Amino acid sequence: MDKIVICDLELAAQVGVTAEEQAVAQRLLVGIEMELDLNEAGRTDEISATVDYAAVADVACRTVAARPRKLIESVAYDVAQAVLRVTGVRSVTVEVKKFSVPAARYVSARMTCWSS
């Protein structure tokens, strides 16, 4: 299956379990991998045959900013569902990276959702 990938979209979000984490927007990196057939887009060079990845990035930004969340898992799920609603992709995998564990480069949650 063909893929379009948005790698490490930088967003600020209120996410965390504690009040201290929720108090200030935190930096997140969001990766979005969409599976779809890209043959027609490759053959025709027409935007209508593919996914407008700028629009997907915008949807992800608006989804993350819409409300505070406790878990990055919730961020990943909400972004995945929003991407499925606005595109014709067969499946989407969203990875959300958070930088809250000092001894680790990052912590992430990765989730795959399929269109129904």
Q: Any idea where the domains of the chain sit in the sequence?
A: 2-114
Q: What is the mean predicted confidence (pLDDT) over 34-46? A: 97
Under DSSP, the state recorded for 49 is G
With a cut of 90, say whether residue 116 has pLDDT above it: no
SS3 of the chain: helix, strand, coil, percent, to 5: 35, 35, 30
Report whether pLDDT(2) > 90: yes
At residue 1, the pLDDT reads 87
Give ∠ CA 28-21-15 in degrees, rounded to 5.
Answer: 45
Fill in the amino acid letter for 107. V
The encoded tokens of residue 57 equal: 């990035």
For 2-114, CATH number out of 3.40.30.10, 3.10.150.10, 3.30.1130.10, 3.40.50.300 equals: 3.30.1130.10
- What does the alpha-carbon distance between residue 7 and residue 32 come to, in Å, rounded to a whole number? 7
User: Does the annotation mark 98 as catalytic?
Assistant: yes
Which is catalytic among the residues 3, 70, 97, 98?
A: 98
pLDDT single digits (tens) 65-84 = 999 999 999 999 999 999 99
Longest dimension (CA), the chain: 52
